[in-house]
Structure 1
Amino acid sequence: MQHLPSMITDLALILGTAGIVTLLFKKLNQPIVLGYLVAGFLVGPKTSIFPTIVGQESISLWAEIGVIFLLFALGLEFSFKKLFRVGGSAGFTALFEISFMVTAGYVTGRLLGWTSMDSMFLGGILAISSTSIIIRTIEELGFKNFKFVGMVFGILVIEDLVAVLLMVLLTTVALTRDFAGAEMLGAIVKLSFFLSIWFVAGIFLLPSFLKRAQKLLTEETVLVVAVGLCLLMVVFASNVGFSSALGAFIMGSILAETIEGERIHHLVKPIKNLFSAVFFISVGMMIDPQVIMTYWKEVLLLSSIVIVGKTISVTLGSVLSGQSLKSSLQSGMSLSQIGEFSFIIATLGLSLKVINENMYPLAVAVSVVTAFTTPYMMRSSTKFYAFLERILPPKVVASLDSYSVLSFSMQGNRVWRDQVRAYIIKIILNAVVVVAIFLLTSRVFLPFLLERQMAEGPAKFLSLSATLIASAPFLWALAFGRTKDFDVLVFDQNKGTNNYVFLVSRIMLAVGLLGAMVAQFVPIFWALAITLWMVIVVGYILSQKLNDIYHWFEHRFLSNLNDEVQKNHARKAVQSLAPWDAHMTEFQIPPEAPYVGVPLSQLSIREVYGVTIALIERGRRRITAPGRNECLMPHDHIHVIGTDAQLVRFKDFIQSEHEDLQRVVSVQDDGQYTLESYRLSENSPYINCSIRDCGLRESTQGLVVGIERDGRRILNPDSSEVLVLGDVLWIVGDRDKILNQT
């Protein structure tokens, strides 16, 4: 009989056991991740119930591959365009919560007598919620169309990104054993620099490459190319001092922006499921019943800190960011668990041999406890809010409500914020590209020439020449480039007297950067002369030529980025159209629905369900503010405004449990579809007219979704409602046309 390698027999044992256990967990409606943990515990060395694995090293290898594919798949789901859609509220809440939990974890560890390193890793372990457990629980409980879910998903996106950054920072601290602020700042700057370079280079090169090779890409070649790029980035990240997980995550995020992003995600998903299952099973193997029995008090303490701390921090952060108390509390109680990233952070600490081995089974035990409590926390969030509403003073509830509405209203004017962000982004990206070119020539090209026995003088001359030629367009843009051609990230900045101050500051930055680069190749006297010569050439003689070259790079970059960003621009606006307790959600029309082809006027959707259909997406066509004679057609994606209760009733009418499909929004529609307020003054032509007859729909290409009148709020008013002097109308439509009414 042929002898099989232990790696194959171990893999057969763990996957066979995992198959049985996960089927049981599926039957019990429990998260499948918990099934993997139980399977690992059953076949692990800490128990003798089942046959145990033989080769622990081979399983560790599979687990490391699992982490790479898990982070690669998360990157494909994350994408930079998702980060753009998250918004400031979710970003602020996520950072507030993570800071709170890291601090709470560190303080708890120190109070328990743990070392500083153990306490730091404990803070990271307790800070990150479980994306897989939350998504599965939301789907099982039918909460997908609730208002707070969008906030939860936004927080999870930021948490995943911060978790990768935490791993890098913890690795830096663990290796250097240095807690100095300068070292930490240096690590953050280095990480930010490489993230920017990967982002710019990846968006500039990969989408164009995949577009041109699209006809040659079968499913097999797409998979091979994607996995190859992932592993190449893993190797590169490891060589420059970062973790392999970070490299996989970044490559996934870049590929998600390409035309093949969805296809790659679909093809990689089975591989990710297989290897991530092995990873979670390897985590389960680390469960030591003896450790848990010994430290059961610590398990209960840490579980309580996760449940209470995350609920409080997310709720408080969300309220401060302008969300309603109800939505904030629901978000907080939904995020009160830890999961896959906690295991990865614990694994990192063990692999670096900087934390106590008992921390790993403690993290797993806390994850199991909090995962089981998650469905109950979500279910009870509405009742707990009702309880808080009863016990809190009415003035407090009213103040929080007013703060939420005020914060939402202030979000409508984003011009100045976008202008400042545009300036900063353009300066940073161009500076990063210039520094990257310098590093490439000084640390790669110059050593290459010297290794080929070229004299030092000619080698430095060629390297410096290559640096100046390659960086000239970006130095010009750093000093003089305007931002008017940026579509999503950058806007026109040529406004105001302060422009001269900004211009002089940018020129000084460009000249200083140029001088610092040149001084690395030649003596200081020659550096000053060359810098002056470049200022004259770049600033005056070749200005127009460099402008043309730079705009070619800029157009190429933005066209690759905006292929996806523009497709999702409408959704970004639509998801923030919610005054008061209402919000926007999306439904897909099933082809067999009995109401297909029936005019909206006959369906009486607003009158029966109290919701408003604000947008219909039909293939590449967008129907904004659909009229009474518009019909719903099979596979339409409709965006509906209403409260949670109204949307639940409307979901029953739709009778569709299908998963959302990828939508393609027409990029030819440049209008900003948004929510704006409009107060009826004495000169308004709409006073004493009904909504149906006043002509607002035609003049704004929008819908009236709310009215504020004498301190009362009318959500989704009937079309027969008569408008009176002093009404504040909330209108979903073309922003410019709405503002022209004022």
Structure 2
Amino acid sequence: MGHLPKLIEDLALILIVGAITTLLFRSIKQPLVLGYIIAGLLVGPHLSLTPSVIDTENVETLAEIGVIFLLFSLGLEFSFKKLMRVGGSASITAFVEIFFITITGFFLGKLMSWSTMDSLFLGGMLASSSTTIIIKAFDELGVKTKLFARIVFGVLVVEDIVVILLMVLLSTIAVTQQFQGTEMAFTVLKLLFFLALWFIAGIFLLPTLLKRVKPLLDDETLLILSIGLCLGMVMLATQAGFSAELGAFIMGSILAETTAAEKVEHILTPVKNLFGAIFFVSVGMLIDPEMILEYRWPVLFVTLLTLFGKFFSTTLGALLSGQPLKQAVQVGMSMAQIGEFAFIVAALGLSLGVTSDFIFPVAVGASAITTFTTPYMIKYSDHVYNFISKIIPEKWLVALNKYSAGTQNIQAESYWKKLTKAYLKIALTNGIVLLALMLLSIKFLLPFLKETVENEILGSIITLVISLGLAAPFLWAFMTKQPNKMGFAELWLEKKYSQGPLLVLAIIRMVFGIIIIAVWVDRLFTAMAAILVAVPIIIIVMFLFSKRIQNFYQRLEGRFLSNLNAREKAEAEKLSGTENILSKHFSPQSDLSPWDAHLIDLEVSPQAAYIGKNLLELAWRENYGVNIAYIKRGDKLIYAPGKNNKLLPFDHVGIIATDEQIQAFKPVFDMQEQIEAATPNVEDIVVQKIVVDEHNRLKGQTVLSSGIRERTNGLVVGIERNHERILNPTSTTTFEWGDIVWIVGEKQKIQKLNTA
């Protein structure tokens, strides 16, 4: 008998127990994550009543892979453009909430006499809310279409990226044991530099690669390629001194900007679910029930801080961002729970050996309690708002409403603001590329040439020529590229106010460009040589070849922008550009905000009672006050549909309504026709043969008079008689003794023919 490795036995145990617990949790409508954690508790070393995992070291390795795939999948759903579209309201809300809860979490840890590192990781654990739990609660309570839900989703997006950055900072602090402000600032700058560099390089290279190999890609090869890219970025991130999780997240966010994003996300889901389940089970294995009882008071304190601290800070952030009091309270009540990231942060601390063992039980206990309270918090948010509005002074309510109205009516940006932003974008993107090229030339190219070229000065000259040759397009853009010709021209015409500042901006850019060149040369030669020889020569060469350098840079920029916008362009082509027009007319956070109305996308159910009726017959506008902005049918978009347009199954309908209107209208939209009988399964439709005999009494009857069609919901497709076959017999064909009749119909009803 062959030997079965312990890892396979452990995996069997983990997955079987995990399957049972998740089935149980799904039946009681609770998050599956908690089911996995309970499964880990059952197979962990702290319960002697159930079988335990033996090869814990290998299980921990698989759990680390699970974290990588969870972060990779999160990156695929994330996209940097999605962060840019979140808007100021969600960003301000998220940053206020994260800052408050992280600081208070740290001080709560110190009050409980925890170590500084335990307190820091506690603050990091509390920084995010659970996307899974919130979406589940929104679906169950039917509030996903309300206006405040948009803010919540935006806050969750910002939380994800901030928690990723927090994980990197916590890892750095844990390894270096340094808390100085300069060290922290350097770490943050280094992180932002590598984030931007990886994003720029990835967007420039990956979409082009995927486009060229597209004819060769099927599901299997795309899965292998995407996982390979993910793990490759994980290796690169760890080599640069960052965490593996950050590398996985970055690669996911780069792939999220490509046209293959949805397909990669789809084929990766089973892999993510498998390894993610192993990770959460491994989390449960670390739980000691006795330790939970021992630390019951910290669990209670952390739970109370989560419920009330997150509610207060998120509500405050929403108010500061200009949301009305009611909406701010709804957002605050929705965010009061601990997310799955808490387990990842806690696992990070344990893997680095800097946190105590009780961190996990506290995180799991508080997470379980807040998971159960979340639906009730959301459900009773209106009651909390009514209570708050009664106890605060009337003048405060008036002031809050004025502040909210004022922030929603901020005017468009001036040319100066747009121009300044554009200059900063040019300076940052090209500056990052220049810094990367400088580091590559000094850290890698120069040492390589010193080993291969005997003359040290010659090696430095070759390094300078190659590196600055590659950097020339980006130097030109950094020093001379105009971001917005129309805006620049209009500002230049305002001689009294604008020409001076514009000239100062141009001079500053030139000076910084020269400084970059001087520093670059100084790293290779002496400072005197840089100032007197190299810098003037480089500037003269760039001036002489400026036209060619400019053309080359524009080609590079064009390719980058084409790759960056490829996904949106493909979607826009499907909709023939109509959807873009639609979003301009019905932007939920601009044009309609004064009336508290917003655009909601709903899908028509195949069993909807109103299918086939035109909009005039439905009279939804007259009865419920809602407006239909569009009907999306496959790749076709009907913009501002007329009274004769009809709704068909799976149509996407854009409804413009307030929260109150949509609450009254949603049950009507979801209303379905009552189906009297269950529809037979397709698998029950079979091709089956029967023999004409005394049991079915078909002899002498025609196909029509036999009633086979009615009795079997089927069709006679052939008759075999005396070794001859009659294909598709007519309705007047008469059955004879011994005929073999081929019938397509319901299996059970065909079988009943022989018992007639």
TM-score scaled by length of structure 2: 0.82
Deviates more, 1:114-123 or 1:581-590: 581-590
Name the structure 2 match of 1:732. none
Name the structure 2 match of 1:525. 528
Distance 2:202 2:2 in 1: 48
Q: Structure 1: where are the runs of 5+ without partners?
A: 486-490, 658-742
Distance 2:366 2:138 in 1: 21
Deviates more, 1:406-415 or 1:505-514: 406-415
How far 1:372 moved relative to its partner?
1.4
Residue 75 of structure 1 contacts residue 248 of structure 1 at CA under 8 Å; is this kept in 2?
Answer: yes
Q: 1:192 to 1:17 in 2, by over 3 A?
A: same
1:516 to 514, 519, 522: 519
Name the structure 1 match of 2:729. none
Distance 1:251 1:138 in 2: 30
Residue 7 of structure 1 contacts residue 59 of structure 1 at CA under 8 Å; is this kept in 2?
Answer: yes
The question of 1:192 aligning with 2:192 is answered yes
The question of 1:579 aligning with 2:593 is answered yes
Instruction: Tell me the alpha carbon deviations over residues 585-614 of structure 1, each in whole angstroms, 9 at most, x when there is no partner.
Output: 211234565545655344332221112223
Q: Structure 2: where are the runs of 5+ without partners?
A: 492-497, 573-579, 673-756
How far 1:623 moved relative to its partner?
4.7
Distance 1:395 1:31 in 2: 43
Distance 2:465 2:275 in 1: 48
Query: Partner amino acid for 1:537?
Result: V
Deviates more, 1:629-638 or 1:584-593: 629-638
Distance 1:32 1:380 in 2: 24
The question of 1:506 aligning with 2:509 is answered yes
Residue 36 of structure 2 contacts residue 284 of structure 2 at CA under 8 Å; is this kept in 1?
Answer: yes
The question of 1:541 aligning with 2:554 is answered no
Residue 415 of structure 2 contacts residue 487 of structure 2 at CA under 8 Å; is this kept in 1?
Answer: no
Instruction: Tell me the alpha carbon deviations over residues 335-371 of structure 1, each in whole angstroms, 9 at most, x when there is no partner.
Output: 1111211111111111111112211221111111111
Distance 1:322 1:246 in 2: 33
Q: 1:415 to 1:393 in 2, by over 3 A?
A: farther
Residue 104 of structure 1 contacts residue 123 of structure 1 at CA under 8 Å; is this kept in 2?
Answer: yes
The question of 1:131 aligning with 2:131 is answered yes
Name the structure 2 match of 1:398. 398
Instruction: Tell me the alpha carbon deviations over residues 374-397 of structure 1, each in whole angstroms, 9 at most, x when there is no partner.
Output: 111111112211222233333322
Instruction: Tell me the alpha carbon deviations over residues 5-62 of structure 1, each in whole angstroms, 9 at most, x when there is no partner.
Output: 1111111111100100110000001011110111111111111221011011011101
User: SS where residue 473 of structure 2 aligns?
Assistant: helix
Q: Map of 1:539-578 to 2, 5 A cutoff?
A: 540-565=543-568, 567=571, 574-577=587-590, 578=592
Deviates more, 1:426-435 or 1:400-409: 400-409
Name the structure 2 match of 1:735. none
Name the structure 2 match of 1:171. 171
How far 1:139 moved relative to its partner?
2.1
Name the structure 1 match of 2:669. 654
Distance 2:365 2:451 in 1: 55
Q: 1:361 to 1:211 in 2, by over 3 A?
A: same
How far 1:446 moved relative to its partner?
2.3
Instruction: Tell me the alpha carbon deviations over residues 110-158 of structure 1, each in whole angstroms, 9 at most, x when there is no partner.
Output: 1111222221111111111122222222223222211111111111111
User: SS where residue 360 of structure 2 aligns?
Assistant: helix
Distance 1:369 1:414 in 2: 49
Q: Map of 1:330-729 to 2, 5 A cutoff?
A: 330-410=330-410, 417-452=417-452, 454-484=454-484, 493-496=488-491, 497=498, 498-528=501-531, 529-538=533-542, 540-565=543-568, 567=571, 574-577=587-590, 578-580=592-594, 581-590=596-605, 593=608, 595=610, 598-620=613-635, 622-628=637-643, 630-632=645-647, 634-655=649-670
User: SS where residue 258 of structure 1 aligns?
Assistant: coil
How far 1:563 moved relative to its partner?
2.4
Instruction: Tell me the alpha carbon deviations over residues 196-228 of structure 1, each in whole angstroms, 9 at most, x when there is no partner.
Output: 111101111111211222111100010000000
Instruction: Tell me the alpha carbon deviations over residues 405-428 of structure 1, each in whole angstroms, 9 at most, x when there is no partner.
Output: 221111655866544332212210
Distance 2:544 2:46 in 1: 74
Q: 1:79 to 1:384 in 2, by over 3 A?
A: same
Distance 2:411 2:372 in 1: 37
Query: Partner amino acid for 1:250?
Result: I
How far 1:656 moved relative to its partner?
8.2
The question of 1:85 aligning with 2:85 is answered yes
Query: Partner amino acid for 2:515?
Result: G
Q: Map of 1:84-233 to 2, 5 A cutoff?
A: 84-233=84-233
Q: 1:635 to 1:458 in 2, by over 3 A?
A: farther
Aligned residues: 651
Q: 1:396 to 1:462 in 2, by over 3 A?
A: same
Q: 1:536 to 1:105 in 2, by over 3 A?
A: same
Q: 1:633 to 1:450 in 2, by over 3 A?
A: farther
Instruction: Tell me the alpha carbon deviations over residues 441-476 of structure 1, each in whole angstroms, 9 at most, x when there is no partner.
Output: 222222333344654333222211111111111111
Residue 81 of structure 1 contacts residue 564 of structure 1 at CA under 8 Å; is this kept in 2?
Answer: no
Distance 2:291 2:658 in 1: 47
Residue 419 of structure 2 contacts residue 484 of structure 2 at CA under 8 Å; is this kept in 1?
Answer: no
Residue 576 of structure 1 contacts residue 584 of structure 1 at CA under 8 Å; is this kept in 2?
Answer: no
Query: Partner amino acid for 1:506?
Result: R
Query: Partner amino acid for 2:624?
Result: Y
Distance 2:653 2:363 in 1: 42
Instruction: Tell me the alpha carbon deviations over residues 288-338 of structure 1, each in whole angstroms, 9 at most, x when there is no partner.
Output: 111111111111011000110100101100111011212211111111111
User: SS where residue 52 of structure 1 aligns?
Assistant: coil
Instruction: Tell me the alpha carbon deviations over residues 561-592 of structure 1, each in whole angstroms, 9 at most, x when there is no partner.
Output: 12235658665973424324322221123456
Residue 589 of structure 1 contacts residue 656 of structure 1 at CA under 8 Å; is this kept in 2?
Answer: no
User: SS where residue 641 of structure 1 aligns?
Assistant: strand
Query: Partner amino acid for 2:593?
Result: P
Query: Partner amino acid for 1:533?
Result: I
Q: 1:628 to 1:344 in 2, by over 3 A?
A: same
Give aligned-pair identity as a percent. Answer: 46
Q: 1:473 to 1:376 in 2, by over 3 A?
A: same
Instruction: Tell me the alpha carbon deviations over residues 534-563 of structure 1, each in whole angstroms, 9 at most, x when there is no partner.
Output: 22332x322222211111111111111122
Distance 1:157 1:656 in 2: 33
Residue 105 of structure 1 contacts residue 126 of structure 1 at CA under 8 Å; is this kept in 2?
Answer: yes
How far 1:628 moved relative to its partner?
4.5
How far 1:195 moved relative to its partner?
0.4
Distance 2:606 2:536 in 1: 69
Distance 1:554 1:418 in 2: 20
Residue 453 of structure 2 contacts residue 459 of structure 2 at CA under 8 Å; is this kept in 1?
Answer: no
Name the structure 1 match of 2:255. 255
Q: 1:230 to 1:351 in 2, by over 3 A?
A: same
Query: Partner amino acid for 1:574?
Result: S
Larger radius of gyration: 2
Query: Partner amino acid for 1:325?
Result: L
Distance 1:556 1:492 in 2: 24
Residue 197 of structure 2 contacts residue 432 of structure 2 at CA under 8 Å; is this kept in 1?
Answer: yes
Residue 145 of structure 2 contacts residue 600 of structure 2 at CA under 8 Å; is this kept in 1?
Answer: yes
User: SS where residue 3 of structure 2 aligns?
Assistant: coil
